[in-house]
Structure 1
């Protein structure tokens, strides 16, 4: 049999067709409410601790502890979700999260020692529901026979992620500055509980559990070298998110316009969202690996100008162009990782990437906070270009690891926005 077979008369798979997937809206609506707090937590912590303890370094460090805990524990909850089901993991997670955030607020407002803030921030981050990974796993479960539609779903999810990063920081910043810094985190906890419980209730669309075989140890998704490489590259993307949040906050404060921090960050995320929408509508002809390298190189280029911006307007424009490379990079990364792991490890694999972003966010916010305390707001903007630059070096050096493992054949779509009826059957070598 020939290595490739293409069915004629292709049709494009757009977002409208995707959203008409039976049952899609039953989990998409609550998922949006549940993932919105993900974009509010870090900035909410920064604003609260900055108000109560007066140091960017301390604020960034507390946010970093939360992000590190999320990065380390998130993949484990993803693995448990693959094994025992999403609802079984979500229900205790949202309870722990609400209690931990409440404790963090009480300690910060009470001017408790910094080390006690770490004790509350760690479980707050560890218990963040991994909604984005769980939604992607639901798409994989429902669209496994339509790779073209699945790739469009990944684009839609990245756009949704970016939309939450447009709305989340603006919402957290507005609530914190209009009411008080505590209110931003209170809103985050309420949305987490309400959205998480509503999402958990949608059991009919959840992927099948993979409890495993007695006496057989299941390999972690991280055992794949390609997954590890993508996690490293997403770590670089995370440094961009973390450093931007802290640096923009410092830049707007130094300019006497602190209330603009959420808006400027929203412009950055808005550029990513726009690029993600357009990316999902293009029938790409080159391989996902090539697109990953190209998008990541553009990200490094966009980050390279941030430190030199003289005012808020210039910073917003530079942030917009930087953001244009974010969503395409993430979409392509999630597309690649899905091809690198077997069924039963999808949620865990997606969560490793999400966790890597959180770990990078922690490192980025911490280093940026230290640089800002010592050298001013512009110093914090050096972190995104260094972090993303190291990620690009790793991708270029080890790009061969992104080729899926050898299997008899794999059905994929040409480009990613082509209809399910015209999928191609490719050997693994043809994917590159």
Structure 2
């Protein structure tokens, strides 16, 4: 814990962590708020899953594009434009009664314009701390972001049930705009300039570690999205129990991230952390009892933040600084496509086979997320005793002879 306290004392680290968590807090609210809102309005979890999937697909497409644009236009301009469009789309979805097709289109626009806070902050981190502190900072960040998933579902469920689902969605929009403005005004955001990448878009995926991180992130988030939908369906939109179970799930991730943050990242690190997630979700499928789900999903959560920290670390150590934002954009795209697929699969499974089927689907996604890094461990950088900072960009230097 002392190393984490030292990190927070480093100038800029605490405030950039707080600002980006506030700007990304809606991610912990919107899925549940829209799930409750759309299921209540249209009477179908499948319809809700499709809308959430459309949002995720839009964000997945935008991920590498908006991340790359930050190297051309700067972080502040890109984040400000996308934040404004996204907030407007979310408000329309909440306040305007639309047919499902129109709702899918607006949801896609909301996802397409989701501000690229995560790639931005991952790019800033190596400029805030020294190489020795970078891996613990990734772990602290992955753990701290679980606050989003601890508090977010509880807030969304409470507001949606006690006030209205519309109020829950509008509150998420307030966090999006307020946190986004705070983030873009930070001096650290203005000081870090991402060099323009000289390679074609998508070329960074040729780096094995980036491709591995993108695929495993896809599986991990698909599993989480399926579990979330299954838990909500198990307790119904009229109960706050789903919010509490998902909060406990996130607490497990927070605990795991802090506890395993200093464990050296070897070639088996990703497979080992995904194994924890797989076991926990597999056990969760055995019963829909509140306490059983809480205990087993806490166990599953213990592997999530450590797995994310490994993903961030091996990407950072494998790419040039000019490629970091795009690389994290692709990793985010993989995760968001996973969220779309996980939500859609879970929605249709629940409609046809019940909530347990969604948790079984989550277990399958997590198992694949364990098998893939096991088979591809030669692509997994061994960071034990190594610097996790991005590779410096170098150019030929003219000399006078």
TM-superposed CA distance for 1:370, in Å, is 0.7
User: What residue is the counterpart of 1:423 in the other structure?
Assistant: none
Greater shift after overlay, 297-306 or 57-66? 297-306
User: What residue is the counterpart of 2:83 in the other structure?
Assistant: 94
| Structure-2 separation of matches of 1:25 and 1:244 | 31
User: What residue is the counterpart of 1:5 in the other structure?
Assistant: none
User: Of 211, 225, 228, which aligns to 1:245?
Assistant: 228
User: What residue is the counterpart of 1:18 in the other structure?
Assistant: 7
| Structure-1 separation of matches of 2:246 and 2:229 | 10
Inter-CA distance 269–416: structure 2 relative to 1 (3 Å threshold): farther
| Structure-1 separation of matches of 2:375 and 2:384 | 27
CA deviations on 1:167-220 (whole Å, 9 max, x unpaired) are 11111111111111111110111110111011111144442231356xx75764
Inter-CA distance 190–220: structure 2 relative to 1 (3 Å threshold): farther
**Within-5 A mapping of 1:180-329:** 180-205=164-189, 206-212=191-197, 217=200, 220-253=203-236, 258-280=239-261, 282-284=262-264, 287-329=265-307
| Structure-2 separation of matches of 1:378 and 1:262 | 17
TM-superposed CA distance for 1:362, in Å, is 1.2
TM-superposed CA distance for 1:85, in Å, is 1.9
Contact 1:288 1:335 in 2 (8 A): no
How big is the alpha-carbon RMSD for the aligned residues of Structure 1 and Structure 2?
A: 2.2
Unaligned runs of 5+ in 2: 390-401
- SS of residue paired to 1:345: helix
User: Of 101, 116, 140, which aligns to 1:115?
Assistant: 101
Contact 1:288 1:332 in 2 (8 A): no
User: What residue is the counterpart of 2:342 in the other structure?
Assistant: 364
TM-superposed CA distance for 1:314, in Å, is 0.9
| Structure-2 separation of matches of 1:25 and 1:329 | 23
TM-score, normalization: structure 2?
A: 0.91
**Within-5 A mapping of 1:139-158:** 139-143=125-129, 146-158=130-142
| Structure-1 separation of matches of 2:386 and 2:313 | 11
Confirm whether residue 159 of structure 1 aligns to residue 143 of structure 2. Answer: yes
Contact 2:150 2:251 in 1 (8 A): yes
CA deviations on 1:31-63 (whole Å, 9 max, x unpaired) are 221011121122221111011101011111111
Inter-CA distance 76–302: structure 2 relative to 1 (3 Å threshold): same
Greater shift after overlay, 95-104 or 347-356? 347-356
> What count of residue pairs does the alignment treat as equivalent?
388
TM-superposed CA distance for 1:69, in Å, is 1.1
Inter-CA distance 271–134: structure 2 relative to 1 (3 Å threshold): same
| Structure-2 separation of matches of 1:39 and 1:344 | 30
User: Of 40, 46, 63, which aligns to 1:51?
Assistant: 40
Contact 1:149 1:416 in 2 (8 A): no
Unaligned runs of 5+ in 1: 1-11, 405-411, 421-432
Contact 1:236 1:357 in 2 (8 A): yes
Inter-CA distance 339–48: structure 2 relative to 1 (3 Å threshold): same
TM-superposed CA distance for 1:221, in Å, is 2.5
| Structure-1 separation of matches of 2:124 and 2:208 | 24
Question: Deviation above 4 Å: which 4+ runs of structure 1?
Answer: 216-219
TM-superposed CA distance for 1:414, in Å, is 3.1
| Structure-2 separation of matches of 1:212 and 1:304 | 42
CA deviations on 1:383-430 (whole Å, 9 max, x unpaired) are 1111112222222222222248xxxxxxx763899xx9xxxxxxxxxx
| Structure-2 separation of matches of 1:82 and 1:413 | 31
User: What residue is the counterpart of 2:392 in the other structure?
Assistant: none
- SS of residue paired to 2:194: coil
- SS of residue paired to 2:376: helix
